[in-house]
Structure formats: structure tokens, C-alpha cells
Chain A
Amino acid sequence: MSGDREVTAGGETRYDREVAAAPARELDREAQARAAAERLRRFGGQALAHDMIEMFVEDTPLRIATAREGVVQGDAGAVEHAAHSMKGSCAQFGATTMQRLALEVEMLAKRRDLADVAPLLEELVREFAAYRPFIEPEARRPSQS
């Protein structure tokens, strides 16, 4: 089922709502990415921010791929593990929307309920694509402090 075709009582689709909310979300993403990187710099300077952000950017698509493969294979444990890792790292990098999606996937997989996982993984792919342009440059930004 495509979530884009859900129509609310007001006649607007989920797509309309997402478009309406988009500018605010972009600002949010930028602020969240910057705050997350600043936090990492406080602990270990730009070197830590660089290493952790690079790891996040490399690992996230692999984790999503692992979860997808788990859905195909009916391996709820693999889905749970991938979602759990993703949830933890998204929290670290200010990717709050991804964190929420990963938590939903983890909860479903824990209940061995994989039927609704695939659309959530697609949302994760889209949200990662939207967040990446904000977080990735922080890996190369000189330290502000």
C-alpha cells in the first residue's frame, strides 16, 4: 500500500502534508546536523566528528540493506539488529526522524511482524537522502571552537 495515497478528511494527501511541512523540516535538519556535529567536536574535536560522521554515512545504507534482506528472508532477528544499530546511531547524529522510523522497525521486528517493515525502510531511505546533504559537510567543516 502506498502511504502517498492516504487521503485525510480534509481531502489532502499525505504527499500534500509533506510538501507543506518541507521548508520547516529542511531548517530543522540543518540545525540538527550542526548541533550534532558540534556536540561530537566538544568530545573529540573535528577528528572525532569526521570519523563518526563518515561512519554514519557509510553504515546507514548498509544497515538499511541488511534490514531489507532480512525482510526478504523472513529473518526478524536480522531486521531487529539492523534497526537497533540504526536507532542508536541516528540519535547520535541528530537524525531524529530516522531515529523514530528505526525504532518503529525495531519494535515490529521484535514482535516478528515484518509485513509493515518494507514501507518504513523506504521512508528511511528517503529521509537519509534528505539528511545526508546536511550532516556530511560537517565531517569536513573546521572546528568552530
Chain B
Amino acid sequence: MKTIAVVEDNADNRMLLKAILTGTYELREYASGHHALAALTAPDRSLPDLVLMDISLVGMDGVEVLRRLRADPRTRALPVIALTANAMHGDRERYLAAGFDDYVPKPIDEEEQLLEPVERLLARRPPA
């Protein structure tokens, strides 16, 4: 089973993501950017296959966590999907430009909105 790291500081949102993904994927949940970064960059831990990252985290936000993941050779190629509430026009372009692999606006109304990019990125051949 592939592993997905969920970085989301809202317990409700984590519960919802868990309902959608559990059973198909193994989940690792992190309630802050700092926790996620510490776990994802720990050299003795296996990496997840994909990361779902909330953008507006209190403290270190999702864009900053991503920047640090991209700066570390070990986590540079990790597929990371941005999750964001209060979606605005131009967000997709902005987050793709920031280095995210895809972008899913919240609230998620249909499971497919989340599952389609997740499955697509997991099927992508890892860079050599």
C-alpha cells in the first residue's frame, strides 16, 4: 500500500481526508508544518510516496515547508499537492510556480477532486 503524508492543522479536515483515503492508502498525519518537516527530512525514516499539504498552516506555512523539502536532495522530488481554502483566481498557477506538483481547492465536494491528482502523481514514474 502506498503511503501519503497529510499535513493539515485542522482536525476536521484531517478526519475528512482520512475518510477519503483510508483503506486505499496508508496515512501519516502531521498537524503542523514543523512536525511534517522534521519527520519528512529525518534521514532514518522512509519517505511517503506523496504529500498532501495545506497551504495556510499557522506558524510555518505550506509554501515554506515545500521550499525546504525542495532544498533537501532527499525530498526534492517528492510529489506534493497543495490544498487550499478560500481559493482565488490564479491560485493554481501560483502554487505550481511555487513548486507544487498539483493543487486541490477546498472544500472538496467530490472524492474524485482529490483522488484524480493523487492517483495520477502516484502513477508517474519517479525521476531517475
Interface size on B, residues (CB 8 A): 18
Number of interchain pairs (Cβ within 8 Å): 52
Are A51 and B15 in touch, CB under 8 angstroms? yes
Complex: chain A residue closest to B10, CB-CB: A88
Q: How far is the CA of A81 from the CA of B109 in the complex (A)?
A: 26
Does A85 contact B15, Cβ atoms closer than 8 Å? no
Chain B residues within an 8 Å CB radius of A89: 10-13
A105 CB to nearest B CB, Å: 13
Interface positions of B (Cβ within 8 A of A): 9-13, 15-16, 19-20, 56, 58, 85-86, 106-107, 109-111
Query: Which residue numbers of A lie inside 8 Å of B, CB to CB?
Result: 39-40, 42-44, 48, 51-52, 55-56, 59, 80-81, 84-85, 87-89, 91-93, 103
What are 9 sample pairs from A and B whose C-beta atoms fall under 8 A apart? A39-B107, A42-B110, A44-B19, A59-B11, A84-B9, A84-B58, A88-B12, A88-B85, A92-B16
